[in-house]
Structure 1
C-alpha cells in the first residue's frame, strides 16, 4: 500500500498520475514536468506527442524553457503531433499549404470584385455625365457654336473601356504583388 503522506505521490488525495506518467508506466512525482500540461483525463494528447517527439525529447524541451513559455510550447507540440498523426507525410505543412491555397483563391475573388466595383463606378459616372448634358460635345456647354466645334475637334471623347481595362490591370497588378509578397514571406 502506498503512503501518500511521505510525498511519494503527486498530490495528496489525487492518486492518479498524469497522462505522461501513466503512459510511461512510472510514478508521477510531485514536481513532474508533464503533469501541468498533460492531465490524466487527456491521455491521447500525450500519446500523440510521445509518438511524434518522444518523451525524452519533450522532457528536455520543457526543462530548458522558462515556466511561462512551457504552456505555449506544449500547445505547439500537441498541434504539430496531431497534424502529423492525421497526415503522416506532410503534417503541419499540409495544413499550411491548404490554407495558403484558400487565401490565394479568396484574394483572386476579392481582386475581381474590386475591379467590378471600379467598372460599375466608371460606368455610373459616365452615364451620369452623358445623362445630364455635361459631355464635352454638348451644345449647352458654351454659348457659341464655334467654341463647341473647337471642343469637339481638340478634345477627344474619353474611351470608357480603356479606363475599365486600366482598373482591371491595376487589380491584377495588386493581386500579383500581393501573391509575390505572400510567397516571399512564406519561405
Structure 2
C-alpha cells in the first residue's frame, strides 16, 4: 500500500519526494552550471539518489524542463491565491496580480530563463500551453467575475483576454528583471502596467 506521496509506474513504486528532490537539485545545478554543461550525474549527486532512480522519472535532463516550469507555475498560482481576495474590487485584484508577477519574476528569474532556453532547446515549446492551462482558467474566472459584477466592460473574449493579460504582465516583468539590467526600479513599470490593464478593460 502506498501513501499520498507515492504512485505506481511500470511496476515500480515511485516516491514523489524523490521526484521533488530531483527537480530541486536540477533547478540548483542548472542555475549554477547552465543547461548544456550539466550532466545527469551532477543532478543526482546533489539530490542524493542513484542515477538509475533518475531515469524512473525522467528520460533525460531536457525532460526535466517542462516539470520545472510546471512546478514554477504551481508556485505562482499559490502566491496568487494568497494575495488576491475574492472580495477585492477588480482594480485592487489587478494591483495584487501585477505586483505578484513582478515579485515572482524577480525571485525566480534564473529559473525562468532556464525554462525558456530549455524548452526551446528540447523542442518542447508546445508544452507551454498545457502547462499554462491552470493559470488561464484562474484568470478566466477572475475576468468572468468582474464582468458579472460590471467592473469591466461586457462582451470581452474571456480566454483571449486571459492570455493577453498574462502575457503582457510576464513580458513587462521579464523586461525589467531579465533583459533591462540597467533598470533597477520596477515601480514605474508596475504602475503603468496597472493603469494600462484597468483602463483597457473598463
Decide: shared fold, TM above 0.5: no
Asked which structure has the greater CA Rg, the reply is 1
Q: Which one has more relative contact order, counting CA pairs under 8 Å at least 6 apart? A: 2
TM-score, normalised to structure 2, is 0.26
